Structure 1
Amino acid sequence: MQLSIRHETIYRYSAPQAYAIQQLHLTPRAEPQQHVLHWQLNAPGSLSAYTDAYGNLSHMLTLSRPHEHLAIVAHGMVETFTPPQGRIAGKDSLPPLVYTVSTRLTQPTAGITELAQACLPDGSARTKHLMRLAEHIFGAVKYQSGATEVNTTASDALRMGIGVCQDHAHIFLACCHVQGIPARYVSGYIDPGNTDHAASHAWVDAWVRDRDYEGWVSIDVTHARLMTDAYCRIAIGRDYEAAAPVRGVRHGGGDESLSVNVQIIPQ
């Protein structure tokens, strides 16, 4: 499938801002499951490209002149392929065990531990076990846009019983970590089709030991399904904070408002 993608992020400030620095994960990863046909990233100021510790194609944006708004636009065309049985190929910059460490957003609680023990064996899992966990999370945490914030933890979302794709991913990661199973956060885009889910999306990769395969399998917890060619992968990390599309700090500017518009058009 070919996906035409446009991601626009606009910050507006109530007073002139003197300085801003933003870390951007807005460029598709170089992986066998996808091929970038063309891609462009537009933003004011200085853009410095680099590859982060997780192998993500990243940029550091620095804007040191006074400004009252900041517009960042990423757009292009990506050809995507369905990985067989969700199995992700490609070289990793870090060993799987790196992704067994909990973070502030994925700390286990009694509820997380109970869910993990009910769905997953200890130490390793097959794809069927991980899909069972995704289905349990899908049933326990209803998707509701705007129900949570970027700093909502996995345990808070599970307790409330509502959340978005980011929360589903964090709960899944927390459960895997309880059982010592490597699992990582994925940020990117999805062709939403006829659903009401946002085109900007989050899902997970988990390490499986099936009879005929050992490696990463990519799972969309929000839809309780394996990744297909409807997905474009942007960044991986331990959680949202490591793979966020835009994250940074500023000096001055008063109050801030943010608007994000993502359009995905399959070709």
Structure 2
Amino acid sequence: MAIFKITHITKYQYSLPIKESINEIRLFPHHFKDQEVLDHQLLISHDPEIEYFRDYYGNRVANFNNLAAHNEMTIESRMTVRVNHSLKIPEAEITTAKDLQEEKNNDITLLRLSYPETIARQQDIDAVLASFDAANNSIITVAQLCNEYIFNNFTYTKGITNIETTIDEILELKKGVCQDFAHVLLQFLRTAGIPSRYVSGYVCPNESGLRGEGATHAWVEIYSPIQGWLGLDPTNNIWTMDNHVKLSVGRNFYDCTLIKGTFKGLARQTLSVSVSIRYEDGRHFEEMNDVQLEKIPQEINEQISYIEQQQQ
């Protein structure tokens, strides 16, 4: 069991005033038997009115608008969570993907989470699963073998992929970061017929030196009719444990995007994200990253340059 105090600050800055910023956020820690939310605060610049709801996958979501002109927007999420799922390996079970078919047919969500993406390199996925005898092995065994395969055959490398990178491209590169490895693992598991979902959250630093610590992280959960949802972290070749804090779940990254929105106006924007994690014993870890945003189209870029020149 562990208690973490996590502060997640997202800061947008604009080169020119923008208005009517409309946003949707998923920065709320899940509350379930292995993760207790002791406290959560959401602070947003300009103090907008916030509307809350639950999405299809049960994530808590907030919508808000900043209508007045502004050059900066900060979203700060402060949470205190108690995590208690230190069991590093699930119990052994004999359930196979075939055994899940009837339950999937009666549960549209499980069925939805069992469909793999249509990709060009599907033969590569099929060949690896055949080598694992995925059709006859238990879902726990297949999941663990797939997790280990990604860890051993893909290199953790920052800066060469982005949210637009496809599964085919990741399979070609054999490099990437946590969200890439989660998407590849989902392709393996769903091809094998195992209901599985993408998870976004944090890996809190510990003495093990896990990759992806301190910043937002991604992993996968598989469904077991006996043990419920079980988490695998392909970036580190482990089952999730006390230092994994869950924020949201869905089919893929897009269902779990922490913040997404739009605005009116012509401006260049920059985005920085800071994650601070405090422990009960007083230890403190902080990481800040500048996020690479999509490139502005040339025509829009020229218009912004012209406006900036006129203001000089």
**TM-score, scaled to structure 2:** 0.76
- Offset from partner CA, 1:152-181 (integer Å, 9 cap, x none): 122211210110000010000011121221
2:192 — aligned with what?
Answer: 179
Unaligned runs of 5+ in 1: none
DSSP 3-state at the match of 1:100:
coil
CA contact (8 A) 1:47 1:61 kept: yes
Query: Which amino acid in structure 1 is aligned with residue 219 of structure 2?
Result: W
User: Of residues 60, 69, 72 in structure 1, which corresponds to 2:72?
Assistant: 69
Decide whether aligned partners of structure 1 residues 134 and 16 sit closer, same or farther in structure 2, where only a CA change above 3 A counts.
same
How far did 1:228 drift? 0.6
Distance 1:255 1:111, change over 3 A: farther
| TM-score normalised by the chain length of structure 1 | 0.88
Structure 1 residue identity aligned to 2:56: A
**What is the deviation of 1:31?**
0.9
Query: What is the CA distance between 1:94 and its match in structure 2?
Result: 6.6
1:133-152 paired onto structure 2 within 5 Å: 133-152=146-165
User: 1:262 aligned to 2:275?
Assistant: yes
Letter of the 1:7 partner, please give it: H
- Contact in 1 for aligned 2:211/2:236 (Cα 8 Å): no
Q: Among residues 77, 97, 122, which one is paired with 1:109 in the alignment?
A: 122
> Paired residue for 1:97?
111
Q: Residue 107 of structure 1: CA displacement?
A: 8.1
Percent identity between matched residues is: 27
Number of aligned positions between the proteins: 259
RMSD: 2.4
Structure-2 change in CA distance of 1:137 and 1:43 (3 Å): same
CA distance in 1, matches of 2:278, 2:148: 28
- Asked if 2 retains the 8 angstrom alpha-carbon contact of 1:108 and 1:174, the reply is no
Stretches of 4+ aligned residues off by more than 6 angstroms:
none
Structure with more contact order per residue of length (Cα contacts < 8 Å, sep ≥ 6): 1
**Matched-pair contact (CA < 8 Å) for 2:54–2:61:** yes
* Kept in 1: contact 2:203–2:212 (CA 8 A): no
Residues 119, 154 of structure 1: CA spacing in aligned structure 2 closer, same or farther, 3 A cutoff? farther
Tell whether 2:62 aligns with 1:59.
Answer: yes
- Give, in whole Å, the separation in 2 of the partners of 1:115 and 1:18: 50
1:176-255 to 2 correspondences below 5 Å = 176-193=189-206, 194-195=209-210, 197-199=212-214, 200-208=216-224, 213=226, 215-255=228-268
**Alpha-carbon distance between aligned partners in 1 of 2:139 and 2:70, rounded to the nearest angstrom:** 52
CA–CA distance in 1 between the matches of 2:136 and 2:260? Answer: 33
Matched, 1:131 2:134: no
Report which stretch shifted further, 180-189 or 144-153. 144-153
More strand per residue: 1
